[in-house]
Amino acid sequence: MDLQIIAESAVFFLFATIVILGAVGMIFAQRVAHSMLSLIFCFMAVSGVFILMGAEFLAAIQILVYLASVGLVVLFAIMLTRRQILEEDFE
């Protein structure tokens, strides 16, 4: 086998693992900010897969649209929501 094919397959499996772990981390995160960080890792790895496929335009759109727009909206939603204060927070 060619060394380039092996390296490309290894990078693809690395990106695929990051996508899967980011999606699972987004689902099971306890805090919304941690969920958002996992979502950012997932989107960045998806754009890396697009670059491996030779679709640089789709990778740029993935980063610009999803990371910038959707991520910014979710972060504003996190900042603007009121947090429920529990009694255990005072201890």
What is the extent of the structural domain holding 52?
A: 3-90
Question: Tell me: the pLDDT tens digits for 46-89?
Answer: 999 999 999 999 999 988 888 778 778 877 877 787 666 555 55
- The span from the CA of 42 to the CA of 27, in Å, is 12
CATH number for the domain that contains residue 10 = 1.20.120.1200
> How many domains is the chain partitioned into structurally?
1
The three-point CA angle 73-59-48 to 5° equals: 105
Tell which residue, 35, 57, 62, 70, has the closest CA to residue 46. 62
pTM exceeding 0.85:
no
- The span from the CA of 7 to the CA of 13, in Å, is 10
